[in-house]
Amino acid sequence: MWVPQLSEFNQPVYLSIADALARDIGSGLLNDGDRLPTLRELAVTLNVTPGTISRAYSEAQRRGLVQGEVGRGTYVLARPPLASPEGSSAPSLSLGQSDVLDLSIIKPYSETLEYWLRGALVGMAHSSDFGRALDYAPDGGHPAHREAGAQWLRHSLSDVHWQQVVLTAGAQHGLTVAISALSNAGDLLLCESLTYPGIISVAHGLERRLRGVAMDEQGMIPEALREQCLREKPALLVCVASCQNPTTAIMSPQRRAQIAAIAEEFDFLIIDDDIYGFLATDPSIKPLSSYAPQRSVYLTSLSKAIMPALRVGYLYSPPKLLSRLSSMVRSSVWMPSPLTAQLASNVIVEGLDRKLVQTQRSEAAVRQAIAREVFAGLEIRTQPHSYHLWLTLPEPWTGDEFATLARANGVLVMSGSQFQVERGVSSRCVRVVLMSPTTRDELRFALTQLASLIEADPRRYR
């Protein structure tokens, strides 16, 4: 019976099995038409689940290595693709259907998600609580779903009460709900001078006036916020205090306290967007909203920590604002999908959320190390577990022209100008996302492409 020798321990087991299969076909150990072990036989031998073996065989079939026949088993194909020579260190790129490598969208590493969430879906279907996922939900969400949300929030906030949790259809929807419910058309909103486009589009779409507050390596500068408030009273401050997008800045506890004190002094509300809080290096740093709990709405979701398609967000609000937020959820989408909320709740209650978070943090740390190696000598700002980094290009590059050239060479990044609240001086920065490529080899290839382009003179391409 064929037994694969697994040598790669930094990737899912099913990929290691598929790689071993390709290696053994290429070396002649496996020949045309050889029958592979059954799922159960190989699962017992390797001490894994039959589902893992099924994924491995499916991956091998996708690569054109094997073919399965119902009732007969899985066989090595007659004409397998060429394999790399034994011991070759050349990276194997799996570019899928796209001709570009996308380093522009922040999302979690996806390779292990399908395996884990498939089980969660099956478990949900057999759950005795499945019925509540098929009907209308009360305002704010089902109490059980809100309690699960509170359990997720307790990793960051202490003393969370489920009655103060409001479910949303993801963080972007939560941001829209909070701004709509807590301000009016024409009101002034403040945020970091560099912020993610989602804030900019929501503010302008809702006819709010958006102004950026100057930043440094810790994020928003309290003195600059005070100066803005002296000129005009804001209705809301939207702030990303941990692993800020795009700069990756993390506010110190002292600065968070200063921001909260200014909110108290000038009587405005805070939307504490903590969607990346789980990536912060120091878990003892409390969210910004914990410094001003009676005038803050805490916002987070599962899309970055667990899976983009799990469109469930959580708003945690002081009691006096709850009805306004719940009413706005009802006005905008009537209710977030109870089916999705039930799946999210199962993931949280069963503890799968913490396993997946740890997987993401570990993978991000490895990919950050790759980026530091490839971008050695360049000016970057990042955090040990961040999904992205903020790269300052050497002169005379601009972010816009570099992003255009990178796209032409098969790599997508976002220019710093797209994060500017108020367009002014041309940006020399780009945001580079590290978690999107399927493999680390793909990431290294894409980063190497970027590094080689940076070394060129941009005037050659004008």
pLDDT digits (tens, 9 = 90+) for 144-194: 999 999 999 999 998 899 999 999 999 999 999 999 999 999 999 999 999
pLDDT value for 69: 63
Least confident stretch, 33-37, 58-62, 213-217, 301-305? 58-62
Q: Is the dihedral of CA 282, 287, 292, 293 positive or negative?
A: negative
pLDDT value for 20: 87
pLDDT digits (tens, 9 = 90+) for 3-56: 888 865 557 788 889 888 888 887 778 888 888 999 888 988 888 887 788 888
Query: Residues for the chain: how many in total?
Result: 462
pLDDT value for 25: 85
Of the pLDDT bands very low, low, confident and very high (cuts 50, 70, 90), residue 238 is very high
Q: Quick one: residue 455, left, alpha or beta (phi over 0 = left, psi -120 to 50 = alpha)?
A: alpha
pLDDT value for 200: 94
Q: Which domains does the chain have, with CATH numbers?
A: 13-76 (1.10.10.10), 101-112+354-460 (3.90.1150.10), 129-350 (3.40.640.10)
pLDDT digits (tens, 9 = 90+) for 410-431: 999 999 999 999 877 789 999 9
Tokens (6 digits) for 294: 């009676």
Of the pLDDT bands very low, low, confident and very high (cuts 50, 70, 90), residue 288 is very high
- 3 to 72, 80, 96: CA distances (angstroms): 19, 19, 28
Mean pLDDT, residues 368-386 taken together: 96
More confident residue, 68 or 236: 236
Q: Answer whether residue 455 shows pLDDT above 70.
A: yes
pLDDT digits (tens, 9 = 90+) for 87-130: 434 444 444 445 689 999 999 987 666 667 777 788 788 777 78
pLDDT value for 8: 53
pLDDT digits (tens, 9 = 90+) for 337-372: 999 999 999 889 888 888 889 989 999 999 999 999
